[in-house]
Structure 1
Amino acid sequence: MAMEGAAQSEYNSSTEGVQEHSSSPRKSQSPPPSTDHDENKISIKFLLSNAEAGSIIGKGGSTISDFQARSGARIQLSRNNEFFPGTMDRIVMVSGPIDDVLKAVDLVLNKLLDESYVEDGGDVGPRSKVRLVVPNSSCGGIIGKGGSVIKSFIEDSRAGIKILPQDENFPGLHDRIVIVIGTLGEQMRAIELILYKLAEDAHYVQNMNAPFPYAAYLGMNYGPPNGVIGGRYPNNRYQNKMEPNSEDRNNSVTIGVADEHIGLVLGRNGRSVMEISQVSGARIKISDRGDFMSGTSDRKVTITGSQRAISIAESMISKKVATVTES
């Protein structure tokens, strides 16, 4: 599999002198009758693992540049440490006229399928899963009254389509995951139907140009990077339970941050720690100079609030310190 190397996280599309090509087993069914949206640009987002993203980018960006040239769409990826909240997966956004977007998605999924499965000689292609990222406000249109729209999409495409509930563990996150399961042809037909439905949503079209608005969640749920922060000590018994009352705001945890890095957490005039507190909803207290965690030169940073708030605050602190320790 090609590695990402020094490729950039964003590439410009180019179609000059390159012919379109796709080996997808996509069905030959025509799209919905209306073609009013064909000339309008639209975007679609989906998730890839870091390894899959590296494969799509290719050595020096060769693969993603080729896909952009062949499709006419623009393909953007979040950076290799920018994940969708609650996952270890990067976000891919494909933009352009609908037909170009579908060509690009087809190329991406085709490549991943070729690398994941060995041809077994069967008549039916392997079934796989693709996870689309769709604003919560647009999911109602995909579901339809009484589930009528999503049922029609499933019947038309023969793919399995499931919309996951909004993840309440991440305050301010307004996107949901739409899982599409099937052969490549079935997936592409389902994505085509979903994309045309999204194109009818004026709010979706107006707000589709913010590809990766998840900066506040970086590192969440995976723990801090190795060596970034010191010891982590729960200050009550609750922290050691797997089924806590997540809204109990009396939970508290103390982490250690190297004395020389505490300024990154505080920020100028305390702005950084105020921002972390506001975004997470947690209360944050930093020990006085000389008040270290036992046996270390790490200052004590005590985070108090719900488990969710603590998790967000701890991740944001880790990210700030990592900007120095990983350079």
Structure 2
Amino acid sequence: MDSGVIEGGLNVTLTIRLLMHGKEVGSIIGKKGESVKKMREESGARINISEGNCPERIITLAGPTTAIFKAFSMIIEKLEEDISSSMTNSTATSKPPVTLRIVVPASQCGSLIGKGGCKIKEIRESTGAQVQVAGDMLPNSTERAITIAGTPQSIIECVKQICVVMLEVSSPPKGVTIPYRPKPSGSPVIFAGGQLTKLHQLAMQQSPFPMGPNNPGFQGTRDLTIQSFCRNKVQRGMDASAQTSSHEMTIPNDLIGCIIGRQGSKINEIRQMSGAQIKIANPVEGSADRQVTITGSAASISLAEYLINFLVLIGGAGF
């Protein structure tokens, strides 16, 4: 598809999330914010830069497609200028390519790669850019990074074609997208390297947690901290907890392994901790999701659902 379709789509609101190192972000911001202010004014795009003293920062570009790609082009030009400036006193004989990363929902990466890698190969050949889709999701998210390297024009053309794929009706994001949020350097990660048992002990100190994907609080914060556990504490009677019922969840295929674990170790541990029966439906041809049915008391269902959501949130890491 011609990338001009995107540029001409003035009624399409587009969002591009860039993952950059702190030094690169400082250059984009400029002295007293002058550079990013100029980009906002000249492009008409909304440009938001994540806060925090982090090694990495997220730059979010949002707005009509024409505004987005104007702002994106200005960012690429700035990165190109920085590379040229760094070459002034360098002994290198060739200038390195401009390199950046964009983040996209992991559930859309299959459409971007294509069957047998045909789509990503087509994008590489038509744009001249080097494109690499990360195999693993970014920490505590359901997003992956796509690294693009090349000349400014090849990168711009490459991102346009990626956006065409992302906007196609046949490849919308599946399930809840948990955005990547860079952590400050040296900051502790809740439960990093811990055992699921520790999470269970903490959960049992509270009442059941209705933390499913349809819960507005889950979608609004998605940051699971001890403080949020306490705020979500719910008092329930023993009679209500004793009643047996069923609850269904939908988990994207590419995340189901996070809750199953090696040889079913994680799902079995969740069953033992929660006391709930958990059944994962077989894959359905043509479906990108798997159905998970949880049966038990209200308390056991809530705990099982919470533990499943937590494992999906962290991508199964650390256990």
**TM-score normalised by length of structure 2:** 0.53
Equivalent residue letter for 1:219:
K
State the partner residue of 2:249: none
State the partner residue of 1:77: 49
State the partner residue of 2:39: 67
CA distance in 1, matches of 2:93, 2:64: 32
Equivalent residue letter for 2:39:
F
Cα gap change, 1:35 to 1:159, in 2 (>3 Å) = closer
Query: Is 1:57 aligned to 2:29, yes or no?
Result: yes
**1:206 Cα deviation after fit:** 11
Cα gap change, 1:168 to 1:250, in 2 (>3 Å) = farther
Q: Partner of 1:79: helix, strand, or coil?
A: coil
Q: Deviations over 1:41-88 (max 9, x none)?
A: 10111111222222212233221111112112111111124x5xxxx3
Q: Is the 8 A contact 2:83 2:95 kept in 1?
A: no
Query: Is 1:103 aligned to 2:67, yes or no?
Result: no
Q: Partner of 1:80: helix, strand, or coil?
A: coil
State the partner residue of 2:150: 182
Query: Is 1:150 aligned to 2:114, yes or no?
Result: no
State the partner residue of 2:97: 127
Cα gap change, 1:100 to 1:219, in 2 (>3 Å) = closer
Query: Is 1:140 aligned to 2:110, yes or no?
Result: yes
**1:207 Cα deviation after fit:** 10
Q: Is the 8 A contact 2:101 2:148 kept in 1?
A: yes
State the partner residue of 2:288: none
CA distance in 2, matches of 1:65, 1:204: 32
Q: Partner of 2:51: helix, strand, or coil?
A: coil
CA distance in 1, matches of 2:113, 2:171: 16
Equivalent residue letter for 1:140:
G
CA distance in 1, matches of 2:117, 2:233: 45
CA distance in 2, matches of 1:201, 1:267: 36
Query: Is 1:167 aligned to 2:137, yes or no?
Result: yes
Q: Partner of 2:14: helix, strand, or coil?
A: strand
**1:116 Cα deviation after fit:** 2.9
Percent sequence identity over aligned pairs: 25
Instruction: Say which of 193, 198, 205 aligns to 2:161.
Output: 193
Q: Deviations over 1:139-167 (max 9, x none)?
A: 12211222111111000111111100133
Cα gap change, 1:224 to 1:94, in 2 (>3 Å) = same
Equivalent residue letter for 1:194:
I
Cα gap change, 1:153 to 1:125, in 2 (>3 Å) = farther
Match runs of 1:197-216 below 5 Å: 197-201=165-169, 213-214=179-180
State the partner residue of 2:183: 219
Q: Is the 8 A contact 1:265 1:272 kept in 2?
A: no
Q: Deviations over 1:86-142 (max 9, x none)?
A: xx310011112222211111111211221233467x998641311110111221221
Q: Is the 8 A contact 1:135 1:204 kept in 2?
A: no
CA distance in 1, matches of 2:10, 2:94: 31
Equivalent residue letter for 1:93:
T
Q: Deviations over 1:158-185 (max 9, x none)?
A: 1111100133863xx1100001111222
**TM-score normalised by length of structure 1:** 0.52
Equivalent residue letter for 1:136:
A
Q: Is the 8 A contact 1:52 1:112 kept in 2?
A: yes
Calculate the aligned-residue CA RMSD, in Å: 4.5
Q: Is the 8 A contact 1:126 1:183 kept in 2?
A: no
Cα gap change, 1:197 to 1:32, in 2 (>3 Å) = farther
Q: Deviations over 1:235-277 (max 9, x none)?
A: xxxx8xxxxxx8x65689xxxxxxxxxxx96689x44899xxx
Cα gap change, 1:197 to 1:37, in 2 (>3 Å) = farther
Q: Is the 8 A contact 2:43 2:67 kept in 1?
A: yes
Q: Partner of 1:167: helix, strand, or coil?
A: coil
Alignment size in residue pairs: 212
Equivalent residue letter for 1:179:
T
Structure 1 unaligned residues grouped into runs of 5+: 1-29, 226-238, 240-245, 253-263, 275-280, 284-304, 313-327
